[in-house]
Structure 1
Amino acid sequence: MTPSFGNESGVPALPSGFIPKVDAALNDLLNGRADVDKFVATLNTKFKELSK
């Protein structure tokens, strides 16, 4: 399980560099450049890329 906050460390931590990707994806969602499906797909892709 990954906590909903981005400041954890150790095993539950989000991958380094993920929070800026979340911020960019949220910006696209809120400005209408992405719908919810694209937002979720983007986060899933970025999470997988950064978790390697």
Structure 2
Amino acid sequence: MERIKSKIEELANRINAPKEYLPTYGYSEDFARPHIEVKGNELHWVVVERG
């Protein structure tokens, strides 16, 4: 997960993407903010809206 986070932050810095536009990693903040989960060899981009 740390490698994924590092790469996303590297790419976000190139385009000056605000931190609040980036996903969270391994947990959800809810309110449609995406988060990334890793299960086995799979990467999941998850969006949770109001629980």
- Give the alignment's TM-score, normalised by structure 2: 0.39
More helix by share: 1
- Give the alignment's TM-score, normalised by structure 1: 0.39
